[in-house]
Structure 1
Amino acid sequence: YIFFFLQGIIFLEMADENFESSQLPETREVLCENLHIKVRYLNPALADQITGILVAEKNIKDILQLLTTDSLLEEQVEQAVASLSESDTELKESLGTVLYQAVSVYEQELCAQVTGMLLELPVAVVSKLITSDKELQLAVDKAKNEYLSFIKVNGNSESNLMPIGNFTLSREKEEIGEVIYEKLSIDHTTEETSKLTGMLLQMEYQDLVKVIANPELLKMKASQALSALKIQT
């Protein structure tokens, strides 16, 4: 469908290069929608952000070139991912939601811990893990083994932070997770509660404190996480 649509657009452009100005916005919007579909295939976790970067300040011909040249699109998708800010909280939450779902396929008991560990990796690396089952499974196994090894050796440590390789897990955060789990279990099934708690634990510690102190905020965050969960499933 997309192929024939693009052929039609190219034909029209060759037949008449002088599009009426009133037609341009609509044509651009449709092209962007089709570009988003292709980007989502390459990188489902960051499709919205990447598409936004790719179409910014580009004309219709540039977007058409991306749609019709796979190698160019793949190259620019990689560049877009590399340009994303590592400190973008919203981006991290978006990645965390998708990553949690992906990790849960290979590890359920320690899903939240493993997801948190993997989210400490650069955005480009996390993005690649999400799109590669083989690499994700290897990363999950490695993170799980490092976590269990640390617990075995330092299980009785009084330290609040548990460093594992390049990762850091907070015991305080785990305690908050228990509180969140208890609160969410009132309105959700056991399976939903476990998944929602893991997703919410991807938030910063300071934000988690605010969430457990404000029932309405917790309800809103849980609702957002549940919606994202349903979209992914």
Structure 2
Amino acid sequence: MDEEEDLEAVGERLYNLIYPKHTEIAGKLTGMLLELPGAVLNQILKDEAMLTRALDKALRALQLPQGPSGKVTSKEEEDASVSSDSLGEQLFELVDVYNTGHSEKITGMLLEQQKEMVLNILSKPALLEEQVNLALKTLKEQNVMETDVSESTDFEDTDRLGEKLFLLVEELDPVHANDITGMLLEMDPVPLVQMLADQTMLKVAVQKAQAALDSFK
């Protein structure tokens, strides 16, 4: 009951914000926004710009072609669910509400999943929120890696590259980490940068270096 009471309270606050500008359809718009995840609703209540964007999307949804009954027919709904373009548009509209600054990329990432999963995401706000957060985390990690790569390809930044490489090598061979890192640093910068991102490639290089060290004994 607590969740229902909270939702009712949020609904009242939303209605009071929407009513002055959209008097005739304030109730309808409020109901549509209440289908959004709780975290998004909380942000909307605090951010007028975000509320405006969400209302614009709701208004556009109300202007979609409708059947004689005033509702989208089941056939149209089926066609919409089958169409990849339609799925992408629906997903983008929901993702964009989160105002991450990466709506297109996140939507593209989510659309790479099976259609059943995408439909599941569209119908479950909590799952959508979880997927958006995961995608955003992945994008941030990729951005960090891209930054590391761009920095490491600078020949003047060999020391920094060596430090990163040493930390990874140390996990594989703590005893010979210094010697192996030194041997790897004699390679061209490009494969070294790739090793930072590819654990398998790094392991192969370390094994070769270990074999070389053994032959010197």
Shorter-chain TM band: 0.3 to 0.5
- Taking structure 1 as the reference length, the TM-score comes to 0.31
Return the index of the structure with the highest Cα Rg: 2
- Taking structure 2 as the reference length, the TM-score comes to 0.33
